[in-house]
Amino acid sequence: MKERIVELRKRFEDQLGNVADPEKLEELRLSFLSKKGQLQDLMKELSKIPNEQKKEAGQLINTFKQEVQQRFDEKKEELAAAAEKLLIESTESYDESMPAAFPCGSYHPITLVQRELEDIFESMGFDIEDYSEIVSDYDCFEAVNIPKFHPARDMQDTYYLTSKNQLLKSHTSAAQNAILRKYGPALKESGRPIRAVFPGRCFRNEAVDASHDNTFFQMEGVMVDKDISISNLIYFMKTMLSEVFGREVTVRLRPGFFPFVEPGFELDIKCLNCGGKGCPSCGNSGWLELCPCGMIHPNVLKMGGINTDEDPFEYTGFAFGLGLTRLAMMKYGVRDIRVFNDGDLGALSQFISA
Ligand code: PHE
User: Which atom belonging to ligand 1 lies closest to the Cα atom of 218?
Assistant: 4
**At what angle are helices 230-245 and 109-123 packed, to 10 degrees?**
130
Cα distance between residue 142 and residue 156, in whole Å:
13
Stated pTM of the model: 0.70
Cα distance between residue 112 and residue 131, in whole Å:
19
Which homologous superfamily is 109-348 in? Bira Bifunctional Protein; Domain 2 (3.30.930.10)
Domain boundary assignment for the chain? 2-89, 109-348
Do residues 322 and 218 lie in contact, with contact meaning Cβ atoms separated by under 8 Å? yes
Beta-ladder partners of 209: 212
Q: Whose CA is nearest to atom 4 of ligand 1?
A: 171
Q: What is the pLDDT of residues 240-299, one digit of tens each?
A: 889 988 889 899 999 999 999 999 999 999 988 888 998 887 888 999 888 999 999 999
Q: Whose CA is nearest to atom 9 of ligand 1?
A: 320
State in Å: Cα 77 to ligand 1 middle: 67
pLDDT of residue 352: 65
- Mapped onto helix, strand or coil, the DSSP state of residue 141 is coil
**How are beta strands 194-203 and 127-128 bridged, if at all?**
parallel
| Rg, Å, the chain Cα set | 37
Query: Measuring CA to CA, which residue among 221, 180, 175 is closest to residue 202?
Result: 175
Q: What is the pLDDT of residues 141-169, one digit of tens each?
A: 999 999 999 999 999 999 999 988 899 99
Q: What is the mean pLDDT of residues 217-241?
A: 95
- Mapped onto helix, strand or coil, the DSSP state of residue 242 is helix
pLDDT of residue 259: 97
